[in-house]
Amino acid sequence: MKALKISEAVVRRLPVYLQVLNDLRKRDVQTVSSQELGNKLDLNPAQIRKDLAYFGDFGRKGIGYDVSYLIEKIRQILKLDQPLFVALVGAGNLGRALSNYSTYLKDNMKITAIFDAHPSIVGTQINSLTVLPIEALKATVAELNIRVGIITVPAAEAQNVADRFVEAGIEGILNFAPTILRVPDEIRIHHADFTTELLSLAYYLDKEGDELNEPSMD
Protein backbone atom coordinates (compact mmCIF):
# COMPACT_ATOMS: atom_id res chain seq x y z
CA MET A 1 0.00 0.00 0.00
CA LYS A 2 1.71 3.19 -1.16
CA ALA A 3 1.01 6.91 -0.96
CA LEU A 4 -2.33 6.70 -2.63
CA LYS A 5 -4.12 9.89 -3.56
CA ILE A 6 -6.75 10.54 -0.92
CA SER A 7 -9.86 12.23 -2.24
CA GLU A 8 -11.13 15.48 -0.78
CA ALA A 9 -14.38 13.83 0.20
CA VAL A 10 -12.47 11.48 2.48
CA VAL A 11 -10.45 14.25 4.11
CA ARG A 12 -13.57 16.30 4.71
CA ARG A 13 -15.16 13.44 6.59
CA LEU A 14 -12.26 13.04 8.99
CA PRO A 15 -13.12 16.10 11.13
CA VAL A 16 -16.70 14.85 11.30
CA TYR A 17 -15.52 11.50 12.58
CA LEU A 18 -13.40 13.36 15.08
CA GLN A 19 -16.40 15.31 16.28
CA VAL A 20 -18.45 12.19 16.96
CA LEU A 21 -15.51 10.37 18.52
CA ASN A 22 -14.80 13.23 20.89
CA ASP A 23 -18.42 13.10 21.89
CA LEU A 24 -18.23 9.35 22.53
CA ARG A 25 -15.11 9.73 24.61
CA LYS A 26 -16.75 12.42 26.66
CA ARG A 27 -19.41 9.84 27.48
CA ASP A 28 -16.73 7.28 28.38
CA VAL A 29 -17.46 5.00 25.45
CA GLN A 30 -14.39 2.81 24.91
CA THR A 31 -15.10 1.14 21.59
CA VAL A 32 -17.22 1.86 18.56
CA SER A 33 -18.00 -0.09 15.38
CA SER A 34 -18.28 1.31 11.88
CA GLN A 35 -21.94 0.35 12.07
CA GLU A 36 -22.53 2.56 15.10
CA LEU A 37 -20.60 5.44 13.61
CA GLY A 38 -22.59 5.03 10.41
CA ASN A 39 -25.85 5.26 12.31
CA LYS A 40 -24.81 8.44 14.03
CA LEU A 41 -23.56 10.10 10.88
CA ASP A 42 -25.98 8.71 8.32
CA LEU A 43 -23.09 7.20 6.44
CA ASN A 44 -22.52 3.73 5.07
CA PRO A 45 -20.34 1.69 7.46
CA ALA A 46 -18.29 0.37 4.56
CA GLN A 47 -17.44 3.92 3.61
CA ILE A 48 -16.22 4.70 7.11
CA ARG A 49 -14.06 1.58 7.20
CA LYS A 50 -12.67 2.37 3.78
CA ASP A 51 -11.94 5.99 4.70
CA LEU A 52 -10.01 4.96 7.78
CA ALA A 53 -8.21 2.12 6.02
CA TYR A 54 -6.55 4.62 3.67
CA PHE A 55 -4.44 5.71 6.61
CA GLY A 56 -3.79 2.51 8.49
CA ASP A 57 -5.29 -0.48 10.29
CA PHE A 58 -6.93 1.30 13.18
CA GLY A 59 -9.63 -1.20 14.05
CA ARG A 60 -9.73 -4.71 15.45
CA LYS A 61 -11.69 -7.39 13.69
CA GLY A 62 -14.65 -8.58 15.72
CA ILE A 63 -14.26 -5.64 18.13
CA GLY A 64 -14.40 -2.31 16.34
CA TYR A 65 -12.36 0.84 16.91
CA ASP A 66 -10.91 2.03 20.20
CA VAL A 67 -12.32 5.53 20.56
CA SER A 68 -9.30 7.20 22.13
CA TYR A 69 -6.85 5.52 19.79
CA LEU A 70 -8.84 6.51 16.73
CA ILE A 71 -9.06 10.11 17.94
CA GLU A 72 -5.31 10.14 18.33
CA LYS A 73 -4.79 8.71 14.85
CA ILE A 74 -7.17 11.09 13.10
CA ARG A 75 -5.54 14.00 14.85
CA GLN A 76 -2.20 12.81 13.55
CA ILE A 77 -3.55 12.48 10.02
CA LEU A 78 -4.90 16.02 10.15
CA LYS A 79 -1.56 17.15 11.63
CA LEU A 80 -3.33 18.43 14.69
CA ASP A 81 -0.98 16.67 17.05
CA GLN A 82 1.22 19.73 16.87
CA PRO A 83 0.21 23.38 17.42
CA LEU A 84 -0.94 25.25 14.34
CA PHE A 85 -0.97 29.01 14.50
CA VAL A 86 -3.61 31.03 12.73
CA ALA A 87 -4.01 34.70 11.84
CA LEU A 88 -7.35 36.40 11.33
CA VAL A 89 -7.95 39.53 9.27
CA GLY A 90 -11.15 41.47 9.83
CA ALA A 91 -12.03 42.21 13.44
CA GLY A 92 -15.71 42.87 12.79
CA ASN A 93 -18.54 40.92 14.33
CA LEU A 94 -17.72 37.70 12.52
CA GLY A 95 -14.02 37.96 13.28
CA ARG A 96 -14.75 38.52 16.93
CA ALA A 97 -17.13 35.60 16.99
CA LEU A 98 -14.51 33.26 15.54
CA SER A 99 -11.87 34.49 17.95
CA ASN A 100 -14.12 33.49 20.79
CA TYR A 101 -14.82 30.05 19.44
CA SER A 102 -12.82 27.73 21.59
CA THR A 103 -13.79 24.59 19.71
CA TYR A 104 -10.59 24.29 17.78
CA LEU A 105 -8.37 25.25 20.65
CA LYS A 106 -8.47 21.70 21.94
CA ASP A 107 -7.46 20.65 18.45
CA ASN A 108 -4.24 22.59 18.74
CA MET A 109 -5.28 25.37 16.41
CA LYS A 110 -4.81 28.77 17.86
CA ILE A 111 -5.51 32.26 16.59
CA THR A 112 -2.40 34.16 17.63
CA ALA A 113 -2.86 37.39 15.70
CA ILE A 114 -5.78 39.55 14.61
CA PHE A 115 -5.51 42.33 12.04
CA ASP A 116 -7.75 45.06 10.76
CA ALA A 117 -7.41 47.89 8.28
CA HIS A 118 -9.48 50.41 10.21
CA PRO A 119 -7.59 52.70 12.58
CA SER A 120 -10.58 52.84 14.92
CA ILE A 121 -10.40 49.08 15.50
CA VAL A 122 -6.62 48.72 15.59
CA GLY A 123 -5.43 48.69 19.16
CA THR A 124 -8.61 47.28 20.67
CA GLN A 125 -8.48 44.04 22.63
CA ILE A 126 -10.06 40.72 21.65
CA ASN A 127 -9.45 37.84 24.04
CA SER A 128 -6.13 39.15 25.27
CA LEU A 129 -5.00 39.84 21.70
CA THR A 130 -4.47 43.40 20.51
CA VAL A 131 -5.80 44.08 17.02
CA LEU A 132 -2.85 44.93 14.80
CA PRO A 133 -2.72 47.11 11.69
CA ILE A 134 -2.85 45.18 8.44
CA GLU A 135 0.57 46.56 7.56
CA ALA A 136 2.06 44.47 10.35
CA LEU A 137 0.79 41.22 8.81
CA LYS A 138 3.86 40.03 6.97
CA ALA A 139 6.28 40.58 9.81
CA THR A 140 3.94 39.07 12.39
CA VAL A 141 3.24 35.95 10.33
CA ALA A 142 6.96 35.30 10.07
CA GLU A 143 7.62 36.06 13.70
CA LEU A 144 4.81 33.95 15.17
CA ASN A 145 5.22 31.09 12.71
CA ILE A 146 1.67 31.48 11.45
CA ARG A 147 0.68 29.08 8.67
CA VAL A 148 -3.05 29.60 8.20
CA GLY A 149 -5.02 32.77 7.55
CA ILE A 150 -8.71 33.43 8.11
CA ILE A 151 -10.43 36.14 6.09
CA THR A 152 -13.45 37.83 7.64
CA VAL A 153 -13.47 41.12 5.77
CA PRO A 154 -16.13 42.30 3.30
CA ALA A 155 -16.06 40.67 -0.13
CA ALA A 156 -14.59 43.77 -1.78
CA GLU A 157 -11.48 43.64 0.41
CA ALA A 158 -11.01 39.88 0.49
CA GLN A 159 -8.72 39.56 -2.54
CA ASN A 160 -6.41 42.23 -1.19
CA VAL A 161 -6.13 40.39 2.12
CA ALA A 162 -5.53 37.11 0.30
CA ASP A 163 -2.70 38.72 -1.65
CA ARG A 164 -1.14 39.90 1.59
CA PHE A 165 -1.43 36.44 3.11
CA VAL A 166 0.24 34.88 0.08
CA GLU A 167 3.03 37.41 0.16
CA ALA A 168 3.51 36.68 3.85
CA GLY A 169 4.05 33.01 3.04
CA ILE A 170 0.86 31.58 4.49
CA GLU A 171 0.07 27.98 3.40
CA GLY A 172 -3.70 27.84 3.71
CA ILE A 173 -6.62 30.26 3.81
CA LEU A 174 -10.10 29.91 5.22
CA ASN A 175 -12.26 32.46 3.44
CA PHE A 176 -15.54 33.69 4.90
CA ALA A 177 -16.09 36.40 2.31
CA PRO A 178 -18.68 35.50 -0.31
CA THR A 179 -16.33 35.86 -3.24
CA ILE A 180 -13.89 33.77 -5.25
CA LEU A 181 -10.24 34.41 -4.47
CA ARG A 182 -7.29 34.03 -6.82
CA VAL A 183 -4.20 32.57 -5.22
CA PRO A 184 -1.26 30.48 -6.46
CA ASP A 185 -1.97 26.76 -6.84
CA GLU A 186 0.23 25.77 -3.92
CA ILE A 187 -1.91 27.75 -1.47
CA ARG A 188 -4.88 25.79 -0.19
CA ILE A 189 -8.15 27.69 0.06
CA HIS A 190 -11.26 26.52 1.87
CA HIS A 191 -14.52 28.37 1.76
CA ALA A 192 -16.70 28.85 4.78
CA ASP A 193 -19.29 30.82 2.93
CA PHE A 194 -22.58 30.29 4.68
CA THR A 195 -24.47 32.37 2.12
CA THR A 196 -24.00 29.50 -0.32
CA GLU A 197 -25.45 27.09 2.21
CA LEU A 198 -28.34 29.36 2.97
CA LEU A 199 -29.26 30.01 -0.66
CA SER A 200 -29.06 26.36 -1.63
CA LEU A 201 -31.21 25.52 1.38
CA ALA A 202 -33.97 27.63 -0.12
CA TYR A 203 -34.12 25.31 -3.12
CA TYR A 204 -35.23 22.41 -0.97
CA LEU A 205 -38.06 24.18 0.79
CA ASP A 206 -41.69 23.65 -0.02
CA LYS A 207 -41.02 20.50 -1.98
CA GLU A 208 -44.58 19.62 -2.92
CA GLY A 209 -45.59 23.14 -3.70
CA ASP A 210 -48.14 23.04 -0.93
CA GLU A 211 -48.85 25.72 1.60
CA LEU A 212 -47.11 26.46 4.84
CA ASN A 213 -48.32 23.31 6.50
CA GLU A 214 -46.30 20.19 6.12
CA PRO A 215 -47.97 17.23 4.42
CA SER A 216 -49.00 14.84 7.16
CA MET A 217 -50.60 12.21 4.99
CA ASP A 218 -48.81 8.95 4.38
Annotated binding site: 90-95
Query: Cα(102)–Cα(119) distance, rounded to whole angstroms?
Result: 27
Q: Which of residues 1-20 bind DNA (CB under 7 A)?
A: 1, 7-10
Stretch that binds DNA, among 55-63, 140-148, 166-174, 187-195 (CB under 7 A): 55-63
Our finding on whether 61 is near DNA (CB under 7 A) is: yes
Q: Which of 20, 25, 35, 178 binds DNA (CB under 7 A)?
A: 35
Q: How far is the CB of 34 from its own copies (least distance, A)?
A: 16
Q: What is the DSSP letter of 119?
A: T
Note the helical H segments in the chain.
8-26, 34-41, 45-53, 67-77, 93-100, 137-144, 155-168, 194-203
Q: How far is the CB of 62 from DNA (least distance, A)?
A: 2
Q: How far is the CB of 185 from DNA (least distance, A)?
A: 15
φ, ψ at 115 (rounded to 5°): -125, 155
Query: Cα(112)–Cα(78) distance, rounded to whole angstroms?
Result: 20
Q: Which of 20, 22, 25, 33 binds DNA (CB under 7 A)?
A: 33
Q: Which of 20, 25, 41, 45 binds DNA (CB under 7 A)?
A: 45
- CB closer to DNA, 13 vs 147: 13
Q: Which of residues 121-150 bind DNA (CB under 7 A)?
A: none
- What is the maximal distance between C-alpha atoms in the chain? 64
Our finding on whether 64 is near DNA (CB under 7 A) is: yes
Q: How far is the CB of 3 from DNA (least distance, A)?
A: 14
Query: Cα(47)–Cα(22) distance, rounded to whole angstroms?
Result: 20
Residue 94: other Cβ atoms inside 10 A: 17
φ, ψ at 197 (rounded to 5°): -65, -40
Residues that bind DNA (CB under 7 A): 1, 7-10, 33-35, 43-47, 49-50, 52-53, 57-65, 216, 218
